[in-house]
Structure 1
């Protein structure tokens, strides 16, 4: 699947993330952020665009209703960050720690999650469209009542993930792994799984398989 990639200028001036407080509307754009610590802050309804953020930490920061467009996060710690009701487009998360992040009720489009820790992340009631998740750990991730449209899970760990009230029609889980999954039979209609996963799911739903 092809998605729209972040549109970021090749040359970016370096800035501090705390410069966001200098703008009345919490806007930060067209810059490079390096080695920043921005923990326990509250900047809801902020705007980030056309920027790269590397080796930075944002633990427990509240970014509710943030607008993120054309941004790359690389080697960042975003543990327990609140992205509730966020709008995230043409964005990439690479080698980041997003444990416990809250993406509930967000709109996420043309986004790549590559090799991240996404354990205990909450996507509940979110809409994900044209999203590629590759080699992520999504243990105990919550996709309750989500809309998944053109979403790819490539070689992810989905153990104990929750897809309750979420249709998996058109979703391919065959390269990913799980021991247990919360999902309804109706939601699996049109979902692609491996033969081993089919047996796992059947067992989880109480089907007795004999030789």
Structure 2
């Protein structure tokens, strides 16, 4: 099936579709299946994907601007060097996805499941990550300056050398997190100490 810009598609089957290098603008997809789809080097602008399944899809070097991928499944997808600019990703799952080298520019990644992923060095500056699941992620040297991490799950994650300055970190349990070399501001340091049960007077 050929995808036309500006159209709405509901419960359609796009499994294994080849969208290599294609540009999608103003499209809306609801409950569609994109299993093993090839979206390498593709571009989406002002598109909305709701409840879609991208399992094992290929997004290498793709670019997404002002698009939404809400409550979507990206299990085992390859997102190597993909870029998401001002995108809304709420509720989407990236379990076992390859997210090495992704670029994230602002946007809303709240309630996403990113657990067990390697996000080393990714810049999440000013990104909303409210209650995101980052369990056991490799977050070494990741940047969260100005991000909202309220209530995020970071248990057993490796945050060595990460930058949390100016980020909102309320509601995070910092026990069982590798914090060696993490950059903090004074208020954040107090919040982390309190998460260990200390009382600051």
TM-score normalized with structure 1 length = 0.84
CA distance in 2, matches of 1:206, 1:150: 27
Contact 2:42 2:59 in 1 (8 A): no
User: Would you say the 8 A contact 1:108–1:129 is kept in 2?
Assistant: no
Report the equivalent of 2:147: 156
CA drift at 1:186: 4.9
Aligned to 2:50, the other structure's residue is in SS state coil
Q: What is residue 81 of structure 1 aligned with on the other side? A: 72
Q: Which moved more, 1:49-58 or 1:175-184?
A: 175-184
Distance in 2 (CA, whole Å) between partners of 1:184 and 1:148 is 16
Q: Say if 1:107 and 1:128, in contact at 8 Å, map to a contact too.
A: no
Moved more, 174-183 or 96-105: 174-183
User: Which portions of structure 1, spanning 4 or more consecutive aligned residues, are displaced by more than 6 angstroms?
Assistant: none
Q: Give 1:58's match in structure 2, choosing from 34, 44, 49.
A: 49
Map of 1:168 onto structure 2 = 159
Say whether residues 1:16 and 2:7 are aligned partners.
no
Shift of 1:67: 1.6
- Partner-residue secondary structure (3-state), 2:194: helix
Provide structure 1 residue ranges, at least 5 long, that are not aligned to the other structure. 1-14
Q: 1:184 aligns with which of 161, 175, 185?
A: 175
- The structure with the largest strand share of the pair is 1
Matches within 5 A, 1:134-153: 134-153=125-144
Corresponding residue pairs, total: 194
Counterparts in 2 of 1:117-136, with a 5 A limit? Answer: 117-136=108-127
